[in-house]
A and B are shown apart, each in its own frame.
Chain A
């Protein structure tokens, strides 16, 4: 296998990786700004300079010349080379800042240059705390500045488009944003204008930076030049906790981080998963977080009156107890997790009702060939795999209107708002509703309303439109004590902040709600139906062995990046 030597350590590689990428993947921390693995390498930041040598090849034999010890003679290039623009080749010898004073000096010099015209506004900059320029300056930069002149003035607070704001002075001209619009999204909505030290990114005249993936440039910006109009100045990085989970806005389930401050979602950023969304996240995935924060329920209600949880569970059990199985309709939910839908189907079977159906939510034209889908729910494929059929809306509506139903059990959905039937149609039907927001239009017609934990408060599994089963992790806490959730929060947060055991824990904005895997087994127990699970992990373990459509989808296997399930109907 071909190999290179970096700082006297041998690294093996396959193919023709770029030297910088190879170093980063094997743990050699080379500073860099403009390089991004998904894009071309213009080598313009000049931060990743290294000394590179290659074996001296004998022109006659085509083989390396050897020295007196039998080792190949290495010829170093006269100038430092940018490792981002260089392919690794067999026998290459590289010296980084760890073994070369020259490289160390070059990295320091380059940072000095980058900083002379960079404003010292870190105390008010959103990027501070997770800023590559800040971090690399701490690691490799000079201790002070020799620059004694006015910094260059450039436009600030420019709205490039509806969602992205530019601070020209912070820009270090890495052109990542330009290359994103040229090479990745191909919207070509950004370019560099002006020349030399006055350069900054801008839209062409008359063009707005409004493509549906515009906010990715904020994440790839190595400084705070591009910020989110939505979340800028709302929280400092270190005031937030960050949880690796998945987006639930559409059926793709793009991997993301939820950033939480005071138990409110502040921002959603992409998480790299090469099988699903690579490095990117659509703007819609980032901006639809208000359902997690606003208009949340205060607690369970019976016919609109506040009750305690025990009373609510008992009321649901009473509804189901008196009803004949064929006059009870369970509606599963493409918003809810596989686990919750699975428990619902068990409940339905136990009370003699038919397999739950689910409501589809699609909007033609919302999807594209990339990360957005027409399907506006995160788990319709999960429902399908559980054997749920999409509800035949007109048939179900006639059934409700003709008085053919005694109980309509709705898991985490809104039949009225989705146009299945009106609230009046439901007057003669007992409605049990698990819901997220008090704006739910079925709520006035609900006999028993159970506040449900949203995707950022629960543990569970969603299956995206490509059959990729992925785990949801709790980004924020709910009211009350739930050992499973607390354990998961502590386990899955990269920063370990926000658990009840550390000082960042916040009591504010806790929602009085329950995940389906807590509420449904409680209802079952009131009905004397056996439904004993230690938690969602066990539910999924059972499902993955019992149902071929979920074969292999254990929590352990899904881990951070999920597993690709076999096609429906195909045995793994």
Chain B
């Protein structure tokens, strides 16, 4: 392997910080022994810190959201309007992790829950928020129980609640259980769900910082994003900004699944070479097979062919150049035996099943995509189906309230774009008349 191209530096000797190798770290007493709530104490009780300086430190760290969009976190925090004592404001931690191929947040919730709480409290302090919601998807039943138990202990110790550590700052954390819908991971939909409404995404603007939960200023961050906040306070924004790729710094949980010898969640700096991740971190391809394709960051990020990943590192810039996105860094590895059409069929089924049905293009388009891909997969498709698929993608992309339509259309567009011959090979050889269907321009 050519280490010169990696942006992760000496990653082999990297010391884990998000998920350090400490037994029973999820327990409060163990966490306390390992610098637990030290960052919070420092922020709340020393003069060095005030809300602005915390936000500035996070800005300095260059932390970008780990939920998929990669928006600079410090900047997001600074979008909150000035404090008005009569207007409540909310933090929401998005633990509705449900993108296919993504399974990193649950590791944090299972193995380092107090880091998440501490991160939420620091973020709340930075934005003068008094209530933080932790929205966890309903399927994570075990982790919800665990988080609730640990939160109770943190309350008992005075880390959460009224007058934290005697600082005069009070902040509550409320764990909210979702009912199991992919769309609830979309921030505005999550707010609707939290309010007890049907989880339909909302039109933006107004953005959550102006009009969020119950119409009040709200900031929504991913679990992993918030978990970085205590680290930034403890070790400094500068330390953080020097980890991994300079334009997209920090530790990242890589969720590697698929046809590798050692699938799992691995913490490494950003900017890791994809080839390193597959061949060394994940123990190489299973059964010595050849790599065929991979999804770098959850199912909606564009698929990459094996020949497209040489020298590509896991950070926003490099992946954009390669024709994909960082997403949630949930990597899906596929070997040479994978039928890509069949794979796409499963993905289109997922988005069809999970479209909330609010906007026309997504509601109708996701089902139609699945119909056609299924027909192709079953060998009944026609060549013209590929053109219709690409047309439908155009008709869906960027024309809906939220990004689910884009997330559903991109896998189809890029899979056809990058594996067209496989689709053509699966098309029916019989020429079927178009059934009197009029061509639309």
- Bound together, the chains give a CA A195 to CA B354 distance in angstroms of 7
B438 at the interface (CB under 8 A from A): yes
- Bound together, the chains give a CA A196 to CA B364 distance in angstroms of 8
Decide: A41 and B356 in contact? CB cutoff 8 A. no
For residue B187, give the distance in angstroms from its CB to the closest CB of chain A: 16
Decide: A195 and B399 in contact? CB cutoff 8 A. no
- Bound together, the chains give a CA A106 to CA B359 distance in angstroms of 14
A47 nearest CB neighbor, chain B only: B360
Q: How large is the interface on B (under 10, 10 to 19, 20 to 34, 35 or more residues)?
A: 20 to 34
- Bound together, the chains give a CA A192 to CA B358 distance in angstroms of 10
Q: Which B residues between 326 and 365 are near A, CB-CB below 8 angstroms?
A: 352-361, 363-365
A464 at the interface (CB under 8 A from B): no
A156 at the interface (CB under 8 A from B): no
For residue A404, give the distance in angstroms from its CB to the closest CB of chain B: 67
Q: Which B residues between 82 and 132 are near A, CB-CB below 8 angstroms?
A: none
How many residue-residue contacts, CB under 8 A, span A and B? 110
A85 nearest CB neighbor, chain B only: B203
Q: Which A residues between 189 and 222 are near B, CB-CB below 8 angstroms?
A: 191-192, 194-199
B388 nearest CB neighbor, chain A only: A146
For residue A398, give the distance in angstroms from its CB to the closest CB of chain B: 62
For residue A52, give the distance in angstroms from its CB to the closest CB of chain B: 13
- Bound together, the chains give a CA A114 to CA B359 distance in angstroms of 10
Interface digits, A16-50 against B, CB 8 Å rule (1 contact, 0 not)?
A: 00000000000000000000000001111111010
Decide: B399 and A196 in contact? CB cutoff 8 A. no
Decide: A147 and B438 in contact? CB cutoff 8 A. no
Decide: B368 and A195 in contact? CB cutoff 8 A. no
Partner of A198, one of B200, B357, B359, B394: B357
A142 at the interface (CB under 8 A from B): yes
B277 at the interface (CB under 8 A from A): no
Decide: B181 and A196 in contact? CB cutoff 8 A. no
For residue B437, give the distance in angstroms from its CB to the closest CB of chain A: 6
For residue B429, give the distance in angstroms from its CB to the closest CB of chain A: 18
For residue B108, give the distance in angstroms from its CB to the closest CB of chain A: 28
Decide: B401 and A147 in contact? CB cutoff 8 A. no
Decide: A44 and B359 in contact? CB cutoff 8 A. yes
B234 at the interface (CB under 8 A from A): no
B288 at the interface (CB under 8 A from A): no
For residue B226, give the distance in angstroms from its CB to the closest CB of chain A: 29
Partner of B355, one of A45, A82, A110, A196: A196
Decide: B363 and A196 in contact? CB cutoff 8 A. yes
Return chain B residues, CB-CB under 8 Å to A43. 203, 359, 401
A42-B200 CB under 8 A given contacts A109-B395, A149-B371, A198-B357? yes
For residue A104, give the distance in angstroms from its CB to the closest CB of chain B: 10
Decide: A173 and B358 in contact? CB cutoff 8 A. yes
- Bound together, the chains give a CA A41 to CA B439 distance in angstroms of 34
| Number of A positions contacting B (CB below 8 A) | 42
A113-B435 CB under 8 A given contacts A46-B399, A146-B388, A192-B198? no
A144-B437 CB under 8 A given contacts A80-B399, A195-B355? yes
Interface digits, B185-210 against A, CB 8 Å rule (1 contact, 0 not)?
A: 00000000000001010110000000
B421 at the interface (CB under 8 A from A): no
For residue B260, give the distance in angstroms from its CB to the closest CB of chain A: 33
B68 at the interface (CB under 8 A from A): no
B362 nearest CB neighbor, chain A only: A196
Decide: B357 and A113 in contact? CB cutoff 8 A. no
B166 at the interface (CB under 8 A from A): no
B398 at the interface (CB under 8 A from A): yes
A541 at the interface (CB under 8 A from B): no
A556 at the interface (CB under 8 A from B): no
B270 at the interface (CB under 8 A from A): no
A41-B437 CB under 8 A given contacts A46-B360, A114-B360? no
Decide: A79 and B440 in contact? CB cutoff 8 A. no
Return chain B residues, CB-CB under 8 Å to A149. 368, 371
B367 at the interface (CB under 8 A from A): yes
Return chain A residues, CB-CB under 8 Å to B439. 144
Return chain A residues, CB-CB under 8 Å to B371. 149
Partner of A110, one of B202, B352, B361: B361
Decide: A113 and B395 in contact? CB cutoff 8 A. yes
A152 nearest CB neighbor, chain B only: B367
Decide: B203 and A82 in contact? CB cutoff 8 A. yes
A197-B361 CB under 8 A given contacts A43-B203, A192-B198? no
Decide: A199 and B368 in contact? CB cutoff 8 A. no
A196-B360 CB under 8 A given contacts A82-B203, A147-B368? no
A197-B203 CB under 8 A given contacts A108-B440, A144-B437, A173-B358? no
A421 at the interface (CB under 8 A from B): no
B78 at the interface (CB under 8 A from A): no
Return chain A residues, CB-CB under 8 Å to B399. 46, 49, 79-80, 106, 109-110
A143 nearest CB neighbor, chain B only: B438
- Bound together, the chains give a CA A197 to CA B361 distance in angstroms of 10
Return chain B residues, CB-CB under 8 Å to A263. none
Residue among B200, B361, B398 facing the most chain A CB atoms (10 A cut-off): B361
- Bound together, the chains give a CA A146 to CA B356 distance in angstroms of 24
A148 at the interface (CB under 8 A from B): yes
- Bound together, the chains give a CA A196 to CA B359 distance in angstroms of 9
Partner of B364, one of A106, A117, A143, A146: A117
Return chain A residues, CB-CB under 8 Å to B352. 196-197
Interface digits, A134-156 against B, CB 8 Å rule (1 contact, 0 not)?
A: 00000000111111110010000
- Bound together, the chains give a CA A148 to CA B438 distance in angstroms of 12
For residue A172, give the distance in angstroms from its CB to the closest CB of chain B: 7
- Bound together, the chains give a CA A108 to CA B441 distance in angstroms of 10
Return chain B residues, CB-CB under 8 Å to A198. 357
B301 at the interface (CB under 8 A from A): no
B387 nearest CB neighbor, chain A only: A146
B225 at the interface (CB under 8 A from A): no
A191-B368 CB under 8 A given contacts A46-B400, A80-B398, A144-B438? no
Partner of B358, one of A44, A47, A113: A44
B300 at the interface (CB under 8 A from A): no
B6 at the interface (CB under 8 A from A): no
- Bound together, the chains give a CA A82 to CA B205 distance in angstroms of 12
Q: Which B residues between 386 and 441 are near A, CB-CB below 8 angstroms?
A: 388, 394-395, 398-401, 435, 437-440
Return chain B residues, CB-CB under 8 Å to A147. 368
B299 at the interface (CB under 8 A from A): no
For residue B123, give the distance in angstroms from its CB to the closest CB of chain A: 29
Residue among B203, B354, B364, B394 facing the most chain A CB atoms (10 A cut-off): B364
Return chain A residues, CB-CB under 8 Å to B353. 195-196
Return chain A residues, CB-CB under 8 Å to B394. 109
Beyond contacts A41-B203, A85-B203, A145-B437: 16 other A-B pairs, Cβ-Cβ < 8 A, are A42-B202, A42-B358, A43-B359, A46-B360, A46-B400, A79-B398, A113-B365, A113-B395, A117-B367, A144-B437, A144-B438, A144-B439, A148-B435, A196-B363, A197-B352, A197-B357
30 cross-chain CB contacts under 8 A:
A41-B203, A42-B358, A44-B358, A44-B359, A45-B359, A46-B360, A80-B399, A106-B399, A108-B440, A109-B394, A109-B399, A110-B361, A113-B364, A114-B360, A117-B367, A142-B438, A143-B440, A144-B437, A144-B438, A146-B388, A146-B437, A152-B367, A195-B353, A195-B355, A195-B356, A196-B352, A197-B355, A197-B363, A197-B367, A198-B357
Q: What 8 A-B pairs come out closest when comparing CB atoms?
A: A144-B438, A113-B364, A199-B357, A109-B395, A196-B355, A196-B357, A142-B440, A79-B398
> Chain B interface (Cβ within 8 Å of chain A)?
181, 198, 200, 202-203, 352-361, 363-368, 371, 388, 394-395, 398-401, 435, 437-440
> Chain A interface (Cβ within 8 Å of chain B)?
41-47, 49, 78-80, 82, 85, 106, 108-110, 112-114, 116-117, 142-149, 152, 172-173, 175, 191-192, 194-199
